[in-house]
Amino acid sequence: MKRTQLAAAVLLASGSFSAAAATYSVTPLPVNDKAKYTFGYSIDNSGFVLATTQLEYNPPVNIELVEAGGFFDRSDVSLENREDTMEGVFTDSDYTTVVNFLLNNRGSGRTQQLASYRSYIMDTADVELVPGYDEVTDMFDGYTHSVVTVARDSLAGDYLVGTSEGLFKTLEYTNESDTTVLYTYSDMVQQAFVQVNGETKRLAPTDTLLGGTSHAYAINQNLQVAGYGSASYSENLQPLIDDCYDDEERADEPVEYCLRRVKATRNFLFPILNTHIWQLDAAGEVISTQVYPLLFEPEEDDDVGYFTRAFDINAQGIAVGDAATGERVRVQRPNSTGASNEDEVVAVTFFDGETTEFLPREENLKSNAVAINDNNWVTGSVLRAVSTVARDRLFVYNLDTEEARYPQGFFNNAAVFPSAINNNNIVVGRSEFEATTDGVRETRAFMYDLETDTLTNLNTLIGCDSPYTLVDAVAINDDNEIVVNARVSQNATYITGNEIVNDEGEASEVDNIVALRMTPIANGEIEDCAVESQEEEKYERKGAAINVLWLGLLGLAIGFRRRLR
């Protein structure tokens, strides 16, 4: 079954793909045509999917802010039509060059700010932006696209929770040389939010110095939101704030921008981050906030930052996540030449005001819990060293019976990374696929069924002639619908979405990451894909080259993924 560019194009254009001999159909999420890369995050029991885009097509560009950022003064900038670009009229190539400049200079404070990631909610056909704290402005005749927003969980499509930056604003400042300089800044760093009826509402942390910081990861049917936020900061932070208001101490810059710089560096000022459970009312207003303690009491003069973090919560109000122990462990990673010291982190539950560790610490270098279902099964990963190199391994644990399992991945000592578990006791995630000596290994999406104790490669459940390689399963609902991130060969595009062609009018293929919905097929049967042509084998081997790209993209997204490490 030859995988040709034409066949792939036909399948992609058809909207969904299934074969008579398959147990799952595969449908590209309708958000995929909005960006070069799309990452799925969650799917709720009403079928609503949340996904995040990277390198979104056709972002708005304000040429005055681009010029203020020194774009046209750079000697390394090559443009097809400089004069038209200065007027805001772009060729595909020049538009891509401008957008790449803005993305590469994000945070500089002297040019337009473009967000690397934005989030969307969708059913099978309709897509809506989840703006977070972004706003519609006259300058951009719509949303500014300046705010990084990652929506992570949904309740019936009515309540959406996640993390978002504050809106970026512009400010003119006359410096000591009597020169007017334009600054762009945001007065709010990452904050948890809930979106209800199209309105974004802040889920504030307990310590709001400089606004504090907070993150939301999951919401249950009782409108409890699990996440974490700032609980205290180092006393070294206040003098930096005071200097911003002191004309003698502050650099020749606006007070607002000085405070923004302090906010950007405060993560290095040893914050204490604690799990927060926000209780909402039906309108999305916060009724109460419960903060969970660390696993230990730091010494009074201990300036190291510690944390507890919740990543999921079930119907009983039990949240799971991880916590720092205050200790260090010696770890040798697969891609390192030797061992190094890392902070010890352990899997924990949060319930009734108590933070509780539940796995034997002596068996693992590290552990963390990422999901819990209503049957009180918890899943996550443990870091264990076989010989010398440490790799992550899947665990499932029942809080009621204290039964623990450690299923193997696709081969002995394969690293396994779970993402979610549904109420049918099915876990999904990704596992290394081939036992190579490389530090970076290919991954495939899997599902693990607790009832049958079987781990299945999801690629075996779809048609053999599917153009997709399923590399990561990120979510599953109680209808066993699964959201996966997949690799697929597509024509390279400009930031406009138009294809890049050479002088002969030929397009070049590249491997991209797209998000898919997998839907069970009634009475479907697994297709035998054992017999493959040599060309298919070459395709698979060529695909291995994308693994570095895939892991790189995943690494960029991982800070915002629902299962944050």
**Phi–psi pair at 290, nearest 5 degrees:** -105, 130
DSSP lists the bridge partners of residue 432 as 443
pLDDT at 539 over 50: no
Closest CA to 355 of 293, 310, 298: 293
- Give the pairing of strands 24-28 and 509-520: antiparallel
Average pLDDT over residues 429-448: 87
What is the rounded distance in angstroms from the CA atom of residue 500 to the CA atom of residue 181? 37
Average pLDDT over residues 517-544: 65
**Residue that wins the pLDDT comparison between 458 and 233:** 458
Q: In what order do the strands lie in the sheet with 214-219?
A: 214-219, 224-232, 272-280, 286-291
Letter for the amino acid at 15? Answer: G
What is the rounded distance in angstroms from the CA atom of residue 63 to the CA atom of residue 92? 16
What is the rounded distance in angstroms from the CA atom of residue 14 to the CA atom of residue 493? 20
Site of tokens 């398959």: 22
Sequence-separated (6 or more) residues with CB below 8 Å from residue 235:
none
Q: How far is CA 424 from CA 427, 464, 478, in A?
A: 9, 27, 6
What is the rounded distance in angstroms from the CA atom of residue 340 to the CA atom of residue 332? 6
Percentage of the residues of the chain whose pLDDT score is greater than 70? 89
First to last CA, the chain: 39
Q: Specify the 3-state DSSP secondary structure of 337.
A: coil
Closest CA to 163 of 206, 208, 218, 126: 218
Extract the tokens encoding 520: 């069970």
Average pLDDT over residues 5-15: 41
What is the rounded distance in angstroms from the CA atom of residue 148 to the CA atom of residue 199? 17
Closest CA to 475 of 147, 119, 170, 48: 48
Question: Please, what is the Cα angle at 446 between 39 and 38, to 5 degrees?
Answer: 10
The rounded mean pLDDT for the chain is 89
Average pLDDT over residues 97-122: 94
C-beta separation of 85 from 94 below 8 A: yes
pLDDT per position as a tens digit, 267-325? 556 689 999 999 999 999 999 999 999 999 988 777 778 999 999 999 999 999 999 99
Sequence-separated (6 or more) residues with CB below 8 Å from residue 134:
115, 143, 144, 145, 146, 147, 149, 164, 167
pLDDT at 97 over 70: yes
Q: Specify the 3-state DSSP secondary structure of 340.
A: strand
Closest CA to 189 of 168, 213, 169: 213
Percentage of the residues of the chain whose pLDDT score is greater than 90? 75
pLDDT per position as a tens digit, 28-61? 999 999 999 999 999 999 999 999 999 999 999 9
Per-residue pLDDT band for 5 (boundaries 50, 70, 90) equals very low
Average pLDDT over residues 228-250: 92
